[in-house]
Amino acid sequence: MSSPEVVALMLADGRLPTGGHTQSAGLEPAVRAGLGADGKQPADVGAYARDRLRTVTRTEAAVAVLARHYANAQAITTEADKPSPAGTSGTEPFVMASRFVQLESAWAARTPSRALRTASRRQGRAYLRLAERVWPDVLQHLPRDSEIARPLVIGAIGAVTGLSPEQVARLVAYDDAQTVIAASLKLLPGDPAVAVTWLAALHDDIERLVNDVAPLTDIDKIPAAGAPLIDQFAEQHAIERMRLFHA
C-alpha cells in the first residue's frame, strides 16, 4: 500500500522524470524583462515567487484540488456509471468525464496566456505517462498519453494515491516556488544556501494558499487573480530563439 506522505515527497522531487528541469516558472523571461534594477538582483526572486503564489499558482492549486475531488467522486460511483479505463480492449474509446472537461475549460479560462496553457499541458502529459507506469488507476479518470493541464493530472494522481486536498494544494504551491528558486541558480548564479532562505521565507505564503483552496468543491469558486506581466513574459519567451528553459 502506498504511503500518501511518501507519494507527496516523490511528486515534489525535482528528479522525478516529468520534465521539471525544463521549467523556470516564468523566471527566465522575467529576468530578460529586467527582474530587479538590471535583471541581476537575486533578492527579487523571492518576491517574484510570492507573486506567483498569489496569482497563477493559486489557480493551479485550486484546479488540482477540484480534480482530486472529482476523481474521488467518480471512484465511488457504480461500475455501470464509470467510463471504461483508457487502453482497454473494448471497442468504445475512452471519454473523459464531463466534469473533468469542464474543469479544464475553467482552468483555461483563468489562464489567458496560450504559452502557459501549452507548457502546462505538455507537463501534464509527462505526469500522465509516468502515472500510467506507477499509478495506473489514474487512467480510469484521464485518457492515456494526452495533453491535459498539469493540475488535473496531479489532482487525479492525488486521488488514487490517497493524498488529502491539503497535500495536493501544498504540492502544487511548493513545486512552483521551488521551480523558481532552482531556476534562479542557473539564471542568476549565487549561493544555493541563500536561495534556500528565499524558499523558507515563502512557507507562510504556501500555507495561506493551502488553507484558502483546500476546502474547494465548487468549480465556480476557483480563484482567477490576474498576472498580466507573467502572461506577457510567457508569450514573449515562447518565441525566443535562444532560451535556457522551455517556460
* Structural domain contains residue 140: yes
**Burial state string for 155-184 with b = 16 or more CB within 10 A and e = fewer than 16:** bbbbbbbebebbbbbbbbbbbbbbbbbbbb
- Tell me, what's the pLDDT at 40? 55
Note the pLDDT of residue 88.
47
> What confidence tier does 246 reach under pLDDT thresholds 50, 70, 90?
confident
The CATH number covering residue 210 comes to 1.10.4190
The answer to whether residue 244 sits within a structural domain is: no
Q: Which whole number is the average pLDDT over 75-104?
A: 63
- Local structure of residue 85 (DSSP, 8 states): P
> What does pLDDT average to over the chain?
87
Q: Write down the residue that cell numbers 535556457 correspond to.
A: 244
**Residue range(s) defining the domain that contains residue 153:** 4-13+25-238
CA–CA separation, 11 and 7 (whole Å): 6
Answer for the pair 65, 168: CB distance below 8 angstroms, yes or no: yes
Domain assignment present for 20: no
Q: 117: closest CA among 135, 99, 105, 129?
A: 105
This model's pTM is above 0.85: yes
Which residue in 169, 217, 221 sits closest to 72, CA to CA?
Answer: 217
Q: Can you give the pLDDT at residue 247? A: 79
Whether the per-residue pLDDT at 66 is higher than 60: the answer is yes
In a domain, 243, yes or no: no
Confidence (pLDDT) at 79: 42
Q: What is the tens place of the pLDDT at every residue in 116-133?
A: 999 999 999 999 999 999
Give the whole-number percent of the chain exceeding pLDDT 70. Answer: 89
Whether 195 has a pLDDT exceeding 80, the answer reads yes
pLDDT at 51 over 90: yes
Asked if the structure places residue 18 within a domain, the reply is no
Longest CA–CA separation in the chain, Å: 61
**Secondary structure (DSSP) of 192-238:** HHHHHHHHHTTHHHHHHHHHHHTT---GGG------HHHHHHHHHHH
The yes-or-no verdict on residue 90 having pLDDT over 70 is no
The least confident of 7-16, 82-91, 129-138 is: 82-91
Query: pLDDT-based confidence at 86, cuts 50/70/90?
Result: low
pLDDT at 197 over 70: yes
Q: Are 233 and 29 in contact (CB under 8 A)?
A: yes
Count of domains forming the chain: 1
Report the distance separating Cα 63 and Cα 206, nearest Å: 16
Can you read off the three cell numbers belonging to residue 101? 472537461
Whether the CB-CB separation of 44 and 194 falls below 8 Å is answered with no
What's the rounded mean pLDDT across residues 173-201?
Answer: 91
Q: Is residue 36 part of a domain?
A: yes
CA atoms of 76 and 228, how far apart (whole Å): 40
**Would 245 be classed as within a structural domain?**
no
Instruction: Give Cα 154 distance to the centre of its chain.
Output: 7
